[in-house]
Structure 1
Amino acid sequence: MHTVVPSPKRSRFRRWLRWLLALPFLFAAASVLQVAALRFIDPPFSAFMLERQMEAWGDGDWGFRYVYDWRDLDRIASSLPLSVIAAEDQKFATHRGFDLQAIEKARVNNAKGRRVRGASTLSQQVAKNLFLWQGRSWLRKGIEAWYTVLIEALWSKQRIIEMHVNIAEFGDGVYGAQAAAREFWGRDAADLSAEQSARLAAVLPAPRRYNARDPGPYVQRRANWIQRQVRQLGGKSYLEGLK
């Protein structure tokens, strides 16, 4: 009986094909383990921090160093996470990672040719800042959505907001509540005032354009609006009720 022996080229092609078919499953498994571990482990850095450092070195700024200092949520003034929720995602406590109404509103707004509006929840922002790169593409949005689902499934809401206020960029190369509090006002994150917290939340759409320490008219107006919204959320009891 004659046995057909596959050619070396065909065998190599099949091995590569098997690896390519396995990659999505390997990525899914690795990302689940990654997110599960970060439920308990505080990250030493984020993808956005590394990207900012590489960007500075690429521009020849060899002395640039980003500033980052993790603080647990109970060591951060409650006014900051409340201000961030009031400014960025007032449905944070009730949605499961995606604000469908905001997404539809943004789609309609953009279809009319108006200025592009985002509809990212805090969970999506954490996924983007912690794991991904800057820019716009369908691949990036797809990976962001996957990480958002994992974050919502594996973390509590308190962990999500704790992560957000620790890795968000509040100024050029200034990441997290403690770094911002020290850099801008020479105090600890636990001692931030309601006004300072509102200013930090107000610059989040563009932290390299706006200044929380010396706010212009836009930041000051937005900070005043945020403080009014915080009062409507219900104060510290709102944070304690997050699950």
Structure 2
Amino acid sequence: MAFFVVLFSLVNPPTTYYMLSESRRLGGIEQDWVAISEMSQFVPRSVVAAEDANFCLHWGFDMSAIRKALDEGAARGASTLSQQVVKNVYLWHGRSWPRKALEAILTPAVEAVWTKRRILEVYLNVAEFDEGVFGIDAAAHHYFDVSPDKLTALQAARLAAVLPNPKDRSASKPTAYIRKRTGSIMDGAATIRADGRSACFES
């Protein structure tokens, strides 16, 4: 596994276990890899604001978010983008203890070897945005018929707003909840840019 941690710091993962599973189930998926430099500047900021605002500050686990999750129970999640990348690229979906144990081992290893920018780039290319729609390139075309470098701040926030439940949410037909969440994400994206919490993936 250490070999693949090093390998994927430089080479794009060809697919994931979940993507293969969904491709078999659906008869195919949409996904095309795109470098983070070819994405709108609003995309990484929006996803970090939505999923892991302290991404640049932690080493793979957000201990303050974990404490809040323990206090608030199952209503709140605490997975960082680094943990989600490890789950998506190396492991399988589910809540089993063996998977969580492997995730706990692999996440610090990925953080040690990969740059933050690379972690975010891989996440944005393997995350699911709708049924059978994986990665920001496919999502941008699927929802807005544009390439990822043309996504506006609003569109990027809408895409981030469907995470982490893309099969129950739509970026192109947003509910009142998604509209409200989109506004919060746009505010959060502006905040992390202003206070320096986006520096690790924009430098």
Measured against the shorter chain, the TM-score band is over 0.9
1:140-177 C-alpha deviation (Å, 9 max, x unpaired): 10111122111101000000111111111111111111
RMSD, aligned CA:
1.6
Q: In the superposition, relative to structure 1, how do residues 221 and 41 fare at CA in structure 2: closer, same or farther (>3 Å)?
A: same
Correspondence for 2:130:
171
Correspondence for 2:69:
106
CA distance in structure 2 between the partners assigned to 1:83 and 1:133 by the alignment: 26
Correspondence for 2:161:
202
Is residue 51–residue 133 contact of structure 1 (8 Å, CA) maintained in 2?
no
| Unmatched runs of 5 consecutive residues or more in structure 1 | 1-30
2:57 matches 1:87: no
What TM-score does the superposition give when structure 2 sets the normalisation length? 0.94
1:67 is paired with a residue whose SS is coil
Amino acid across the alignment from 1:90: A
1:68 is paired with a residue whose SS is coil
What TM-score does the superposition give when structure 1 sets the normalisation length? 0.79
1:198-222 C-alpha deviation (Å, 9 max, x unpaired): 0110011200000011111111110
CA distance in structure 2 between the partners assigned to 1:162 and 1:78 by the alignment: 12
Is residue 170–residue 176 contact of structure 1 (8 Å, CA) maintained in 2?
yes
The structure with the larger Rg is 1
* Paired residues for 1:39-78 under 5 Å: 39-54=9-24, 56=25, 64-78=27-41
Number of aligned residue pairs: give it: 201
2:16 matches 1:35: no
CA distance in structure 2 between the partners assigned to 1:223 and 1:42 by the alignment: 29
CA distance in structure 1 between the partners assigned to 2:37 and 2:131 by the alignment: 25
Amino acid across the alignment from 1:69: D
| Unmatched runs of 5 consecutive residues or more in structure 2 | none
Give me the identity figure in percent. Answer: 40
Is residue 80–residue 198 contact of structure 1 (8 Å, CA) maintained in 2?
yes
Is residue 46–residue 131 contact of structure 1 (8 Å, CA) maintained in 2?
yes
